[in-house]
């Protein structure tokens, strides 16, 4: 940048992700109660620019100015200041020496109900790691760089740990995976069958309203959920089944696990205290239509959900035309303002 006030600046774009085996329940410093596996998206991204200039005073505080969509956003600014303060001493002590500006925007509409914590924390973590590389001039390898970015992203939002990795990522300890761990996500892609590397993921927007339970509050509900232990064991079993389906290209088993996981997540919310019902009548109507379309046509179309009412439609690229007809004829009428975000698996973040 040729701005005299700015010494350095970096921009990363980072996509969101959809967990197929879900992370729901955490402990300690953002550590997951079970392992999760996700696909990284392509279109739903956050683009973040971090700029820094030397501070004029010697105070030891985080000095941050935050703009979202070109406008100053005080609420996010104070959240991010808290976050940066919490990680600076341990991970980026140099941050205190600079005045920081973060400018962020999402490629998906504000009012789409799509959570942006994974993509935004991923993009921010990548910017911080690049800033560190520029300032310390250290020779970290690409692998170490991504590990640290994933670790930092995780401290911001658990699911963000997986967003810094393209295609297929796994986060959380699991006895069958020696590389997998609770600190950062690892790349599963080399073991995944090619059919899954062009998977589609269309997001049917049932409601763009803000979620009635935050993820953090949702994770907390698991602490008193009587099914919690059984759930964590089940998730770890499903990791084994999912990994096998991913390796062999078994789309049907993949789809069955994706649906079972989405419904389990919602069932856990329904039977928590207090109880949350995040599906809408239209979510159920869409689910039923997907299942009957599948029964009638034998085509491999499946659904997943995050902690909200919107439906992710998962299918291999080679049946895109048939799925398009399904969406147009049967599903679009259930979507708020006929909103569908056409997405699919993506290669992961990139520096701009």
Count of residues interacting with ligand DP6 (CB under 6 A): 17
Residue 257 and residue 241 in contact, taking contact as beta carbons nearer than 8 Å? yes
* 66 is a contact residue toward ligand DP6 (CB under 6 A): no
**Does 20 contact ligand DP6 by CB under 6 A?**
no
Residue 48 C-beta: closest distance to ligand DP6, Å: 17
Nearest to 202 by CA among 3, 32, 339, 28: 339
Contact 154, 32 (CB under 8 A): no
What whole-number distance in Å separates Cα of residue 310 and Cα of residue 275? 19
Selected binder of ligand DP6 within 96, 126, 245, 265 (CB under 6 A): 265
Q: Rule CB under 6 A: choose which of 116, 181, 207, 215 binds ligand DP6.
A: 215
Which residues, at least 6 apart from 43, have a Cβ–Cβ distance to it below 8 Å? 15, 107, 108, 341, 342, 343, 344, 346
- Closer CB to ligand DP6, residue 61 or residue 78? 78
Q: Is 184 in the site for ligand DP6 (CB under 6 A)?
A: no
33 binds ligand DP6 (CB under 6 A): no
Q: Which of 9, 10, 12, 22 binds ligand DP6 (CB under 6 A)?
A: 22
Interaction of residue 269 with ligand DP6, rule CB under 6 A: no
How many residues would you count in the chain?
352
Q: Which is nearer to ligand DP6, 159 or 182 (CB)?
A: 159
Residue bearing tokens 């953090």: 216
- Does 159 interact with ligand DP6 (rule: CB under 6 A)? yes
Q: Which of 45, 200, 219, 231 binds ligand DP6 (CB under 6 A)?
A: 219
> Are the CB atoms for 36 and 154 separated by under 8 Å?
no
Tokens matching residue 154: 């995780």
225 contacts ligand DP6 (rule: CB under 6 A): no
167 binds ligand DP6 (CB under 6 A): no
Show the tokens assigned to 279. Answer: 């599906």
Check if the beta carbon of residue 227 is closer than 8 Å to that of residue 174. no
Task: Please name the helix (run of DSSP H) or strand (run of DSSP E) that holds residue 162, with its range, or none.
Answer: helix 160-163
Q: Which is nearer to ligand DP6, 217 or 299 (CB)?
A: 217
* 280 contact partners, CB below 8 Å, separation of at least 6: 206, 207, 309
Stretch that binds ligand DP6, among 154-162, 320-328, 331-339, 341-349 (CB under 6 A): 154-162
Is residue 106 within the footprint of ligand DP6 (CB under 6 A)? no
Measured from the CB atom, the residue of 266 and 294 that comes closer to ligand DP6 is 266
State the Cα–Cα distance between residues 242 and 255, nearest whole angstrom: 9
Nearer to ligand DP6, 19 or 258 (CB): 19
């Amino acid at each position: 940048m040729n701005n005299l006030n700015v010494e350095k600046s970096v921009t990363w774009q980072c996509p969101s992700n959809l967990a197929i085996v879900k992370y729901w329940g955490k402990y300690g410093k953002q550590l997951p109660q079970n392992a999760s596996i996700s696909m990284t998206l392509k279109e739903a991204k956050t683009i973040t620019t971090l700029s820094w200039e030397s501070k004029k005073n010697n105070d030891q505080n985080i000095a941050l100015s935050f703009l979202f969509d070109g406008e100053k956003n005080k609420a996010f600014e104070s959240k991010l200041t808290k976050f940066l303060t919490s990680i600076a001493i341990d991970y980026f002590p140099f941050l205190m020496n600079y005045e920081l500006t973060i400018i962020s925007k999402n490629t998906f509409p504000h009012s789409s109900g799509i959570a942006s914590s994974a993509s935004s924390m991923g993009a921010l973590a990548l910017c911080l790691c690049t800033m560190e590389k520029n300032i310390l001039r250290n020779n970290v390898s690409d692998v170490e760089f991504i590990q640290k970015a994933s670790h930092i992203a995780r401290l911001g939002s658990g699911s963000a740990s997986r967003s810094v990795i393209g295609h297929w990522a796994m986060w959380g300890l699991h006895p069958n995976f020696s590389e997998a761990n609770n600190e950062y996500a690892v790349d599963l892609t080399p073991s995944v069958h090619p059919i899954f590397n062009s998977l589609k993921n269309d997001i049917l927007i049932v409601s763009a309203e803000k979620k009635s339970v935050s993820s953090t509050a949702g994770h907390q509900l698991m602490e008193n959920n009587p099914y919690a232990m059984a759930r964590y064991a089940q998730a770890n079993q499903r990791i084994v089944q999912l990994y096998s389906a991913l390796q062999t290209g078994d789309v049907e088993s993949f789809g069955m696990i994706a649906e079972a996981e989405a419904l389990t997540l919602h069932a856990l919310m329904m039977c928590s205290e207090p109880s949350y019902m995040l599906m809408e009548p239209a979510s159920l109507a869409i689910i039923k239509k997907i299942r009957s379309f599948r029964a009638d046509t034998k085509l491999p179309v499946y659904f997943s959900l995050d902690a909200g009412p919107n439906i992710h439609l998962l299918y291999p690229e080679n049946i895109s035309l048939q799925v398009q007809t399904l969406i147009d004829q049967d599903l679009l009428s259930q979507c708020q303002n006929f909103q569908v975000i056409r997405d699919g698996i993506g290669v992961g973040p990139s520096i701009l």
